[in-house]
Amino acid sequence: MKIIVENVVKEYATVKAVNSLSFTVNRGEIFALLGPNGAGKSSLVKMLTGFTKPDSGNIQVSLDDQQFDAIPNWALGYLPEDRGLYPEKSVIDNLVYFAQLNGMTKTAAKEQANIWLEKFDLTERTNDQLKSLSKGNQQKVQLITAVIHQPQWVILDEPFSGLDPVNQEKVVVFLQELKKLGMTVLLSAHQMAMVEKIADRIMLMNKGEQVFLGTLKEIVKQVGGANQIVAKYQEPLAAETVASVLQDLEHQQINDTSLRVVGNASVNLNLLSNKLTELGQLVSLQSQQLDLHQIYIQAIEQHGGQINEAK
């Protein structure tokens, strides 16, 4: 069970939403797609689910010794970008209806629905009209509809959106549970801290292209073992002096007496430490690994900016 994407291109009238993208998703992993608005994540997801077709390139899905050009409906659990439940119906009726559409019996659907509702602290809302729930709770119901029939593949477009931090953590636990149940999960998200916690592999996209791909460890390596050095000084530093001494070293003045410098494989550490000493009397020097959020911002800037917006 595997998805192989090879040189896939998807073009709309004025924009190349996906530009010659190649990658593989393996059985049982949680694979995260990251990227700014307009990076091409939803366009890619729509091709993986068979909703649209690539203009060129190949998508190959192997399942139970059979090959498909998209994930077949019977093997798929999908949380679409545009959510669609029935607001007038109760929570349980929504869940049972969608589970039955996916081939479950009413009894099995009810049983599974109750298990998931309990996990998401929604048992008390079982018979309430969906529209009476908060946006976040409606989102949780939508997540349950995507997996209630225990599909082999789960594709979640922005599963954290609209949720507060406590409920975002619940989605992390939910995703870990899907993995334990043997499902393979591909998700798109903007919440870096959550992705860092659960993704086995991450692909950062920008302007329809792959910026990096790998485990968090591999990505840190790909960006040159990125870390940051925070230097604190006894006396205030003049911005002009800092700029003239550090020149093209990527840096940022945090306040009068401290600054942050990005260090990676291309930065000569001896030279850097000489320059930091030259600036004044150091009080402390600390090195920290960049988190995914900082790596993301840096990588997108290096990849030529923000958005792949249609003109």
Ligand X SMILES: Nc1ncnc2c1ncn2[C@@H]1O[C@H](COP(=O)(O)OP(=O)(O)OP(=O)(O)O)[C@@H](O)[C@H]1O
Could you tell me the smallest distance in angstroms from the CB atom of residue 52 to ligand X?
8
Neighbouring C-beta atoms of residue 164, cutoff 10 Å: 10
**Does 38 interact with ligand X (rule: CB under 6 A)?**
yes
Residues 281-310 that bind ligand X (CB under 6 A): 308-310
**Does 74 interact with ligand X (rule: CB under 6 A)?**
no
**Does 42 interact with ligand X (rule: CB under 6 A)?**
yes
**Does 39 interact with ligand X (rule: CB under 6 A)?**
yes
Pairwise CA distance, residues 25 & 74, whole Å: 19
By beta-carbon proximity to ligand X, the closer residue of 7 and 132 is: 7
Could you tell me the smallest distance in angstroms from the CB atom of residue 38 to ligand X?
4
Select from 10-18, 105-113, 252-260, 297-305 the region that touches ligand X (CB under 6 A). 10-18
By beta-carbon proximity to ligand X, the closer residue of 77 and 208 is: 208
Cβ(91)–Cβ(117) below 8 Å: yes
**Does 51 interact with ligand X (rule: CB under 6 A)?**
no
Cβ(192)–Cβ(292) below 8 Å: yes
Q: Which two tokens stand for residue 73?
A: 């409906």
Chain-centre distance of CA 4, in angstroms?
A: 19
From candidates 1, 4, 15, 108, binder to ligand X by CB under 6 A: 15
The residues with which 233 forms a beta bridge, in sequence order, are: 282
**Does 41 interact with ligand X (rule: CB under 6 A)?**
yes
SS (H, E, C) 133-172: CCHHHHHHHHHHHHHCCCCCEEEEECCCCCCCHHHHHHHH
Cβ(261)–Cβ(246) below 8 Å: yes
Site size for ligand X, by CB under 6 A?
14
**Does 26 interact with ligand X (rule: CB under 6 A)?**
no
Could you tell me the smallest distance in angstroms from the CB atom of residue 30 to ligand X?
19
**Does 9 interact with ligand X (rule: CB under 6 A)?**
no
Could you tell me the smallest distance in angstroms from the CB atom of residue 292 to ligand X?
16
Q: Which two tokens stand for residue 150?
A: 């225990």
**Alpha carbon separation from 165 to 119, 157, 162, 200 (Å, rounded):** 17, 18, 10, 21
Pairwise CA distance, residues 18 & 15, whole Å: 9
Measured at the CA of 128, the angle between CA 124 and CA 131, to 5 degrees, comes to 125
**Does 86 interact with ligand X (rule: CB under 6 A)?**
no
Single-letter code of the amino acid located at 280: G
Select from 36-44, 64-72, 103-111, 235-243 the region that touches ligand X (CB under 6 A). 36-44
Q: Residue 108: left (phi > 0), alpha (psi -120 to 50), or beta? A: alpha
Cβ(291)–Cβ(228) below 8 Å: no
**Does 206 interact with ligand X (rule: CB under 6 A)?**
no
From candidates 7, 22, 26, 37, binder to ligand X by CB under 6 A: 37
By beta-carbon proximity to ligand X, the closer residue of 12 and 74 is: 12
By beta-carbon proximity to ligand X, the closer residue of 35 and 151 is: 35
Which residues sit at the interface with ligand X, rule CB under 6 A? 12, 15, 17, 35, 37-43, 308-310
